[in-house]
């Protein structure tokens, strides 16, 4: 299931071809019309964040070393007349990190055409960046190994599963396609690859989804299927099957946006119109967390945990709060505190969304 970036809505039109990349000085600040949509942290204090400045249609990447209280711009990627479909970041050990930006030519109906993904990488904790990395907006790397969902075809609407391993010399990642267990699990439907999380080494959890439906009650539901591998994707076993259901709170509500795991089996899944869920047993059972208090109003955009207790999330739409807030937890998600927030001037506020 591919979803265009909910923050950007219809406001962003972008130029053909991959955009030029400009490094930013340490003194550069995020513009007032910037809104973040992706975060990933190396430690409790250090991480990266990316999003789009709707005023200039530029993708920004910034880094923090003080637990998200202040951010220093490291990259500016002007997009000209191209539509920004997604912005994604991921981090791994030894200061390795990645930024990927998907853009398309926006004309005619959905899906848009001439889509491309521009990957960037860092090896020094986000100070310096160069071209390179998976051409994907959904991947997960732990140490030197991981998994990625790689889109292809018209409008990048078809997705394949790949395993990632560190290339010779330690720079770059090799991709090897592996079979996904999604096809055929729901007769008459077309389950699709939705999210994948590496647990380190050859282990991973994959989430497949059925078609989303909006009920008469305006609740969005979607079937979800969880699979695990311990041999690099050669074999998968079913972990959990969740039917599309309006029973709340429950995983059957909402559409999957992302999933992240720690090597010990603790994980978190966030969904559009469904909130944030946590697991302690590798995905067999899930409980709804307290990040989202008003379903259909607040939306988790990106989540990153550095250990069992410390994590960060971007939360959109909190009543009486910023349009997008950076939230931090120090107890595994039982309680969250706002660290920073971004609200564009009214004339630049995103319209529509989802």
- 2-14 pLDDT, tens digit each: 444 443 332 222 2
- The answer to whether 117 and 159 have CB atoms below 8 angstroms apart is no
| pLDDT on residue 8 | 33
What would the two tokens of residue 146 be? 């991981």
Reduced to 3 states (helix: H, G, I; strand: E, B; else coil), residue 183 is coil
For 124-141, what is each residue's pLDDT tens digit?
999 999 999 999 999 999
β-pairing, 311-316 vs 113-122, is unpaired
Domain boundaries, the chain: 1-169
What would the DSSP string read from start to end of 250-284? STTBSEEEEEEE-TTS-EEEEEETTEEEEESSTTS
61 vs 293 pLDDT, higher one:
61
| pLDDT on residue 26 | 55
Work out the pLDDT band at 115, boundaries 50, 70, 90. Answer: confident
Q: Specify the residue for token string 């971004």.
A: 342
Dist CA 88 CA 73 (whole Å): 16
Dist CA 43 CA 19 (whole Å): 30
pTM exceeds 0.75: yes
């Amino acid at each position: 299931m591919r979803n265009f970036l909910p923050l950007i809505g219809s406001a962003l039109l972008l130029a053909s071809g991959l955009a030029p990349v400009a490094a930013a000085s340490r003194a550069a600040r995020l513009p007032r019309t910037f809104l973040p949509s992706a975060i990933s942290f190396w430690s409790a204090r250090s991480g990266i964040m990316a999003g789009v400045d709707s005023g200039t249609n530029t993708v920004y990447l910034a880094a923090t070393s003080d637990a998200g209280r202040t951010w220093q711009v490291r990259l500016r990627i002007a997009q000209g007349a191209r539509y920004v479909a997604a912005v994604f970041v991921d981090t791994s050990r030894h200061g390795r990190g990645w930024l990927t930006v998907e853009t398309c030519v926006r004309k005619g109906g959905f899906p848009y055409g001439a889509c491309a993904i521009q990957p960037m990488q860092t090896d020094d904790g986000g100070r310096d960046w160069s071209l390179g990395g998976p051409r994907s907006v959904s991947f997960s790397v732990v140490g030197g190994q991981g998994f990625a969902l790689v889109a292809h075809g018209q409008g990048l609407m078809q997705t394949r599963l790949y395993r990632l391993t560190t290339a010779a010399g330690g720079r770059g990642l090799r991709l090897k396609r592996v079979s996904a267990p999604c096809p055929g699990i729901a007769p008459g439907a077309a389950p699709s690859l939705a999210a994948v999380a590496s647990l380190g080494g050859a282990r991973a959890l994959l989430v497949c989804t059925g078609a989303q439906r909006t009920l008469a009650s305006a609740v969005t539901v979607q079937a979800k299927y969880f699979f695990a591998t311990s041999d690099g994707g050669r074999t998968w076993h079913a972990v959990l099957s969740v039917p599309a259901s309006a029973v709340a709170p429950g995983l059957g509500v909402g559409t999957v946006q992302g999933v992240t795991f720690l090597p010990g089996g603790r994980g978190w899944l966030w969904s559009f119109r469904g909130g944030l869920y946590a697991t302690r047993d590798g995905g067999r059972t899930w409980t709804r967390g307290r990040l989202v208090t008003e379903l259909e109003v607040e939306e988790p955009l990106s989540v990153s945990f550095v250990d069992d207790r410390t994590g960060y999330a971007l939360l959109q739409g909190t009543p009486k709060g910023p349009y997008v807030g950076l939230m931090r937890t120090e107890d595994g998600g039982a309680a969250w505190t706002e660290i920073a927030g971004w609200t564009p001037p009214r004339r630049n506020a995103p319209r529509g969304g989802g």
